[in-house]
Amino acid sequence: MIAAPPLCNPTGGTHCPYCAMQCAMRLVAKDGRLEVTPRDFPTSQGGLCRKGWTAADLFTADRPLTPLLRDRRDAPLRPATWEEALDHVVRGIGAAQAAGGADAVGVFGGGALTNEKAYALGKFARVGLGTCNIDYNGRFCMASAAAAGNRAFGLDRGLPFPLQDIPEAEAILIAGGNPAETLPVLLQYLEAQRQRGGQLIVADPRRTATAAMATLHLQLTPGSDAALANGLLHIAVRDRLLDEDFIAARTTGFPTARRAAAAWWPDRVERATGVPERQLVQAAHLLGEAATAMILTGRGPEQQRHGVANALGYINLALALGKAGRQACGWGTLTGQGNGQGGREHGQKADQLPGYRNLADPAHRAAVAAIWGVDPATLPGPGPSACELLDRCGAPDGIRALLVQGCNLLVAAPNTNRVRERLAALDMLVVADPFLSETAALADVVLPVAHWAEEAGTITNLEGRVLLRDRLVAPPPGVLTDLELLQEIAERLGRGKFFSADARDVFEELRRASAGGIADYAGITWERIVAEQGVFWPCPTPGHPGTPRPFQERFATPDGRARFHAVEQPLSAEPPDQEYPLLLTTGRVLAQYNSGTQTRRVQALLAADPEAFVEIHGETARGLGIAEGNMVRLVTRRGAAALRARLVRTIRLDTVFVPFHWGGLGNANLLTNAVLDPVSRIPEFKTCAVRVECMPPASQQGSNSA
Ligand SMILES: Nc1nc2c(c(=O)[nH]1)N[C@H]1C(S)=C(S)[C@@H](COP(=O)(O)OP(=O)(O)OC[C@H]3O[C@@H](n4cnc5c(=O)[nH]c(N)nc54)[C@H](O)[C@@H]3O)O[C@H]1N2
Ligand SMILES: Nc1nc2c(c(=O)[nH]1)N[C@H]1C(S)=C(S)[C@@H](COP(=O)(O)OP(=O)(O)OC[C@H]3O[C@@H](n4cnc5c(=O)[nH]c(N)nc54)[C@H](O)[C@@H]3O)O[C@H]1N2
Ligand code: SF4
Ligand SMILES: [Mo]
């Protein structure tokens, strides 16, 4: 424990350090501690979930207060001065570049970073290091939805409407999202929708807390969303639920989508998804007959080898029913991380420049190079996606030094054994993190940084609303901000003049660099954000009101029409067989957040969910001789994990579910399959084949979680 910092800005406001709801809060000092209290705001409306309520405990959680350094690979981490650590980092960068050129250094970012940090990190890779090797954890998260949104609508704005529109929708389909646990404060909008007589349909292999609220639960087989979406479209065509006028006026390509769906007659869909035909018909009619409807996808369909196709399948359905580009209608993706939206707009993505510009487009390169004051020819080209970047680590002619800022790779990336092997093959691993994450513990250099309310910055929430977090406390002595850190390293590389450590300066530069781009922030100022309680992008000029509903008049494609796509349901990458007879899917629980680096350090949250577990149906468990609370071993083609069994009646008999918030032997990603979507390059976190074994009595004691 470290002492609570004094509050240096009692009237300032911030937003939660966790999910994309970005609930508004303040800090108050009480009995020598800091406490969170909700703040009026149009999105969270005074709501917080238990993660938000307990967030101030992060200030007193154990964390490194000096850089840590390893003198040799096999030596322990020891405290070091910043001078020493930064010199070490810069020497390591120089050695990697001397041996392998600019691309021998890699950078890995994250969606927890503010817009300013994400922007600075992308610029640092391209201008500070000249490397093409940069990507971020959004590749594990929003990449499929982003690609689908871009293809269908010409724009990737997670929700193309404000949360306040949700209660107006007569019907809502949530496919593979569990907001009751993952965006708990969003539930008030679903409650309001229900109170107005609205219908909710949830497609999920588990009867989640969200599914329990629904009129209709489609308990599909993991990996079968494309079949489900095609099946619903098929019924919509058959039963004349289409909005022909909308299709004619505002879309292109319907015949190809209809042809693909024609092959998905209901009893075939029932066989592929396990969802009874009468429920399929009911779902199609609920959506088609409603005057207004929304279709929202979460990571369930998106984190699949065919995640883009799945999302496009649901988009096809929304378009065919005329439920897009109109009030209280639309397809949207439920963005996950705090800055999952802004983090995917400003250039920490392998192929991207600020303002959602394209790194391969000469005009986009020239526009951004002019703002940066560099020759466009010096900007590297697009690099590999996250998993492919990790594969290059320590490979011949690959990446020799990696800087990680905002991802706990060892817990969050698929196929942990492979990731560990790749990270160990690097000459130098540098991790900048507020806490000693599992990945930081493996690093050669750990750089302790400030986080959340210790610094100012903007984030963009799940609606595309740009928000401001004030600096409310000073970071502990001994830590730098991420921006200071990048500036210091750049300085030592002789590139210091390109970087500022001041978040406000960086935002001003981001405004200019995004001007004229797709995600145009040029008209957004910190003052406007405060005065207007957030500003929706695109917002090209200071006088522009911002864009809460971008598709009302036209879609963002060149011809203004949304595009249908032919969607196929591929065979599973890993169908269950005799050796691995069950399906594994992974996800989240309410009290823990992502890799758990933060929430496992908050006592109340750790107490709520102290260790890794597997959800298994009671009947399936009985067949395997497993009782409630037993330690069981899960085995896949990649590895094995030790997990506490939780027997439930809410999951399919053929499926088990493991949340991924823990390291050590309970790490879900020891099991997952790193097969990638061909377009989004998202890994298939949501489906693989698994075997479950009861562990011998001697292994039933103790805990599995590091
Ligand atoms: N408490 C908490 N909240 C969080 C987070 C957290 O870690 N903890 N993380 C944040 C982040 S980064 C994200 S991305 C979001 C994620 O938010 P969600 O997408 O809501 O979360 P997940 O639990 O990953 O997956 C959602 C559901 O998909 C289901 N599912 C699994 N396989 C399939 C399938 O093949 N098809 C369908 N239709 N469904 C399937 C799972 O059973 C699960 O209930 O949550 C954010 N909020
Ligand atoms: N099996 C399985 N694996 C998954 C998923 C799944 O559903 N199943 N979901 C995937 C998804 S959607 C996501 S988003 C990822 C999330 O997993 P991670 O990418 O690991 O994300 P977090 O745990 O939120 O945070 C990563 C690190 O960033 C640090 N951090 C927080 N704020 C800052 C900051 O301001 N600066 C710096 N430098 N560091 C900071 C935290 O302390 C933490 O160590 O996991 C993915 N992995
Ligand atoms: S819903 Fe998300 S943003 Fe709101 S308090 Fe909970 S974790 Fe924080
Ligand atoms: Mo995520």
Under 8 Å between Cβ of 386 and 402: no
Are residues 591 and 495 part of one domain?
no
Interval 231-253 mean pLDDT: 98
Q: Per-residue pLDDT for 350 more than 60?
A: yes
pLDDT tens profile 387-422: 999 999 999 999 999 999 999 999 999 999 999 999
pLDDT-derived band at 702 (thresholds 50, 70, 90) equals low
**273 in contact with ligand 2, CB cutoff 6 A:** no
Are residues 113 and 218 part of one domain?
no
Please say which residue of 60, 80, 115 terminates a domain.
Answer: 60
Supply the pLDDT for residue 696: 82
Tell me, what CATH number does 24's domain have? Answer: 2.20.25.90
**299 in contact with ligand 2, CB cutoff 6 A:** yes
Whose tokens are 């209290």? That residue is 37
**482 in contact with ligand 2, CB cutoff 6 A:** yes
Interval 139-157 mean pLDDT: 98
Are residues 488 and 363 part of one domain?
yes
pLDDT-derived band at 172 (thresholds 50, 70, 90) equals very high
Q: Which of 664, 624, 666 is nearest to 641 (CA)?
A: 666
Residue 297 CA, ligand 2 centroid: distance in Å: 20
**52 in contact with ligand 3, CB cutoff 6 A:** yes
Per the domain annotation, does 572 fall within a domain? no
Are residues 217 and 328 part of one domain?
yes
pLDDT-derived band at 2 (thresholds 50, 70, 90) equals confident
pLDDT-derived band at 703 (thresholds 50, 70, 90) equals low
Q: Which residue puts its alpha carbon closest to atom 6 of ligand 3?
A: 49
Tell me, what CATH number does 265's domain have? Answer: 3.40.228.10
Per the domain annotation, does 3 fall within a domain? no
Per the domain annotation, does 464 fall within a domain? yes
Supply the pLDDT for residue 379: 98
Per the domain annotation, does 568 fall within a domain? no
pLDDT-derived band at 700 (thresholds 50, 70, 90) equals confident
Mean per-residue pLDDT over the chain, rounded? 97
Whole-angstrom Cα distance, residue 575 to residue 65?
A: 48
Q: What domain count does the chain have?
A: 4
Per the domain annotation, does 559 fall within a domain? no
Q: Which amino acid is at 262?
A: A
Interval 691-704 mean pLDDT: 78
Residue 289 CA, ligand 4 centroid: distance in Å: 33
Are residues 458 and 439 part of one domain?
yes
Compute and round to an integer the Cα radius of gyration of the chain: 24
Are residues 288 and 194 part of one domain?
yes
Q: Per-residue pLDDT for 705 more than 70?
A: no
Per the domain annotation, does 82 fall within a domain? yes
Are residues 411 and 507 part of one domain?
yes
Supply the pLDDT for residue 218: 98
Please say which residue of 310, 333, 356 terminates a domain.
Answer: 333
Q: Per-residue pLDDT for 704 more than 70?
A: no
pLDDT tens profile 439-478: 999 999 999 999 999 999 999 999 999 999 999 999 999 9
Tell me, what CATH number does 644's domain have? Answer: 2.40.40.20
42: containing domain: 14-60
Tell me, what CATH number does 363's domain have? Answer: 3.40.50.740
**449 in contact with ligand 2, CB cutoff 6 A:** yes
Percent of residues, the chain, with pLDDT higher than 90:
96
Per the domain annotation, does 184 fall within a domain? yes
Are residues 509 and 381 part of one domain?
yes
Whole-angstrom Cα distance, residue 210 to residue 296?
A: 13
Are residues 587 and 528 part of one domain?
no
Q: Per-residue pLDDT for 278 more than 70?
A: yes
Q: Per-residue pLDDT for 706 more than 60?
A: no
Q: Per-residue pLDDT for 590 more than 60?
A: yes
Pairing mode of beta strands 293-297, 330-333: parallel
**181 in contact with ligand 1, CB cutoff 6 A:** yes
Supply the pLDDT for residue 555: 98
pLDDT-derived band at 572 (thresholds 50, 70, 90) equals confident
Are residues 90 and 29 part of one domain?
no
538 upstream amide cis, omega within 30 of 0: yes
Q: Which residues are within 8 A (CB) of 402 and not within 5 positions of it... i.e. 6 or more apart?
A: 105, 106, 107, 108, 393, 423, 426, 428, 429, 430
Percent of residues, the chain, with pLDDT higher than 70:
99
Q: For 263-373, where are the alpha helices, taking DSSP H only?
A: 266-273, 277-289, 299-302, 307-320, 362-372
Are residues 506 and 480 part of one domain?
yes
Are residues 153 and 130 part of one domain?
no
Please say which residue of 275, 309, 333 terminates a domain.
Answer: 333
Per the domain annotation, does 327 fall within a domain? yes
pLDDT tens profile 678-687: 999 999 999 9
The torsion defined by the Cα of 141, 401, 444 and 85, in degrees rounded to 10, comes to -110
Whose tokens are 């009468």? That residue is 278
Tokens representing 508 are: 């001003």
Residue 587 CA, ligand 1 centroid: distance in Å: 5
